[in-house]
Chain A
Amino acid sequence: MSDEAAILVVDDEPKNLYTAEAVLAGLGGTIVTALSGREALRHVLRRDFAAILLDVQMPELDGFQTAAVIRERDRCRHVPIIFVTAISKAAEHVRLGYSLGAVDYVFKPFEAEILRSKVNVFMELYRNRESVRRQAEQLRAHEERRLAAEVLDGVRRQNELVLNAVGEGICGFDGDGRVMFANPAACRITGFRRDDLVSQPGHALLHHTRADGQHCTGEGCDLYAIMRGRAALTVDGEVLCRKDGTAVPIEGTGTLLDRGQELASVFVFRDVADRLQIERERGRLVRELEEAISARDDFLSIASHELRTPLTPIRLSVQSLKRKGRTLAAVLPKSLSTQLETMDRQVGRLDTLINELLDVSRITVGRMDLELSEFDVTTLVRDVVGRFQQELDWGRHTVTLELGGPGTQVSGRWDRLRLDQVLSNLLSNAMKYGGDRKLIEISVEEGPATVSIRVRDHGLGISAEDQERIFERFERLISVRHFGGFGLGLWIVRQVVEAHGGRVRVESTLGEGSTFTVELPRLTVTAPDALARDSTPVPEARALRMTNR
């Protein structure tokens, strides 16, 4: 709708149009003229009119036909139409005109005053309607603005709450590097009040001195680039200058905003003094720990060396005497040879204990290097049992071996000394905790890719809650007052087995004894018939029950 009231005058006589224009000119509205009904229709489709002055008698489309068409259009359905007709035709035309929605009539020739006042009424009406509509529009616009402002206000309040709540310092800078805002955390970290910061040059205030204590001109300075809105950067290992002259270590990220905005960049930062302190502290602890571990390992290494050296002449002497005893049986009294045996055994025990001490540090720091070689594990079992023979006899233990038939080899690639240690530890535990029924059963079984070694005793047994614990370092089943040793045996067993990629487990019932099973992957297999034997698993058929001699 246009603001200005317009009048459309339609008449096929140009003379009449001039007259009408002349009469209506003083009313202050726009006067649009049309020489035919068709032209009039074009005009009413293009703009709004306060009123239409429509000549009834026109060629082609007469006034009534034109009015009918106008009324069909939504835009101009309600435009007041004043018909213009010759006074002679008044009686005939007036009735028809009203039926077509005419609001009034004027008669030709015009009486200027009457035409002017009639048209003026509609112009005033139009103006009033427009004015009301405009006011309504203004009201709506105002209401919309108010609502928008409210929403904006809400968002602003929320932003402020967020800015106030975050632990990070947040500062905004304009294109000149002046602080536009600073949140409470920024104030807390820098020690400045908001008023100290806002409108001040950020870099000169907050970074006049670098982390190394040198004055910062801003050249090559990341913080300067951020505060001037020149670069989006992440800063670490820098400091901000506090109001009290001290420096606070920070890390932070600068973000650039779109060019043309008043706010050019935002810097979000954290006080990292605590973090640095914790890192320093942690570094110190790690260093101390490493030094302590290294000192312990060095000590154990030296200690083992120093302990083994004096064992050397003792063991050689004892074994040399034993050797002589065997060849000069008649000369050596029985008691002397028994004592030599004891000495030799005890020297061996000392040697084992020293090795265990070393293992604590070697295994803990993952330095257990396996020396792999190919060997038959059944031979190893026999060797170990043979070495324990005297102790077994002395404790009246019976060992049965189930290693496959005579000549059976169960070969694989393992660390022989380490597996010797595993078997020795399991066997010595079986003796230690074997209880009254002194039967120890050792068996070796082959799987497709693994070899299982089982050591079973019929002694005290281990409760379910103790079963995991016993594989830990310095743990033992029974208190130290009853049984000696470092409490490292099963821990070493597990470490060695796991270093081979195998596993060890225990099945046990209190009072009924325990079965320890070591399952080792056969890293390489050479026994040509190993697989063939696997396919016929008849353990009884090839089992050799070998009771200890």
Chain B
Amino acid sequence: MTTTRTILLVEDDRDICEIVEQVLAEEGYETVAVSNGAEGLAHLRAGTPRPFVIMLDLMLPVMDAWQFRAEQTRDPALADIPVVIFSANPKLGKYADALGAAAVIRKPPDLDELLSVLDRFAPREPAPEAPPAESERDTSDA
């Protein structure tokens, strides 16, 4: 696995972060989870690894999705990272359009649907063997 399949997950629910990290690890993604927009920005600006896609919850403490997007689009180094809105908000479609998001994943997501959306932005390398190696998952828990 390479770090090119890193996903930044901006999500304040700890259980959701954990399970997403786990299931994505099993699919060969590395997930960096942060709990609000400010942490997300800090992580992005720290440099590596640059994520292929950002999964962004709408309502977040400290800095919400709107503030985060404003900061991100203002920063030329970050503006082109595609954002997928990941929310249980009934109006997420409308908000996603307003935020200029590349896609939406409605909570609770169907795992297949979640993976197919992520595939569009961060294609998995052809799986070497099924099942994915157990060690992969362990390394992504950080």
**Given A320-B22, A320-B26, A315 contacting B93 (CB threshold 8 A):** no
Choice from A304, A309, A312, A323 contacting B90 with Cβ under 8 Å: A304
Choice from B111, B130, B131 contacting A319 with Cβ under 8 Å: B111
Q: For B26, give the chain A residue with the smallest CB separation.
A: A320
Give the number of residues in A that approach B within 8 Å (Cβ atoms): 26
Annotate A304-342 by CB proximity to B: 1 below 8 A, 0 otherwise: 111011111111110110011001100000000000000
Q: Is A176 an interface residue (CB 8 A)?
A: no
Question: B108 near A314 (CB under 8 angstroms)?
Answer: yes
Cα-based distance from A310 to B16 in the complex (angstroms): 8
Cα-based distance from A321 to B131 in the complex (angstroms): 13
Choice from A301, A320, A347 contacting B108 with Cβ under 8 Å: A347
Choice from A312, A327, A369 contacting B88 with Cβ under 8 Å: A312
Inter-chain CB contacts under 8 Å: number: 69
Cα-based distance from A301 to B88 in the complex (angstroms): 10
Choice from A315, A328, A371 contacting B110 with Cβ under 8 Å: A315
Q: Is A351 an interface residue (CB 8 A)?
A: yes
Instruction: Tell me the minimal C-beta distance from B117 to chain A in angstroms.
Output: 14
Choice from B91, B93, B108 contacting A312 with Cβ under 8 Å: B108
Chain A interface SS verdict (over half): helix
Residues in B with CB closer than 8 Å to A530 are: none
Question: B107 near A311 (CB under 8 angstroms)?
Answer: yes
Residues in A with CB closer than 8 Å to B59 are: 305
Choice from A312, A314, A317, A369 contacting B13 with Cβ under 8 Å: A312
Question: A351 near B90 (CB under 8 angstroms)?
Answer: no
Residues in A with CB closer than 8 Å to B91 are: 301
Cα-based distance from A263 to B27 in the complex (angstroms): 97
Question: A316 near B23 (CB under 8 angstroms)?
Answer: yes
Residues in B with CB closer than 8 Å to A347 are: 108
Question: A320 near B90 (CB under 8 angstroms)?
Answer: no
Choice from A311, A316, A358 contacting B111 with Cβ under 8 Å: A316
Cα-based distance from A358 to B108 in the complex (angstroms): 15
Question: A320 near B89 (CB under 8 angstroms)?
Answer: no
Residues in A with CB closer than 8 Å to B93 are: 371
Question: B107 near A320 (CB under 8 angstroms)?
Answer: no
Cα-based distance from A362 to B91 in the complex (angstroms): 11
Question: A308 near B108 (CB under 8 angstroms)?
Answer: yes
Q: For A317, give the chain B residue with the smallest CB separation.
A: B19
Q: Is B81 an interface residue (CB 8 A)?
A: no
Chain B residues proximal to chain A, CB less than 8 Å: 13, 15-16, 18-20, 22-23, 26, 59, 88-91, 93-94, 107-112, 114, 130-131
| New A-B pairs, 16, CB < 8 Å, besides A316-B16, A316-B19, A324-B131 | A301-B91, A304-B90, A305-B59, A309-B107, A312-B19, A312-B109, A313-B13, A313-B16, A315-B108, A315-B110, A317-B23, A319-B23, A320-B23, A323-B26, A328-B131, A371-B93
Cross-chain pairs A/B with CB under 8 angstroms, 29 sampled: A301-B89, A301-B90, A301-B91, A304-B88, A305-B59, A305-B88, A305-B90, A306-B88, A308-B107, A308-B108, A309-B13, A309-B107, A310-B15, A312-B13, A312-B107, A312-B108, A313-B15, A313-B16, A315-B108, A315-B109, A316-B20, A316-B111, A317-B23, A320-B111, A323-B111, A324-B26, A324-B131, A347-B108, A362-B90
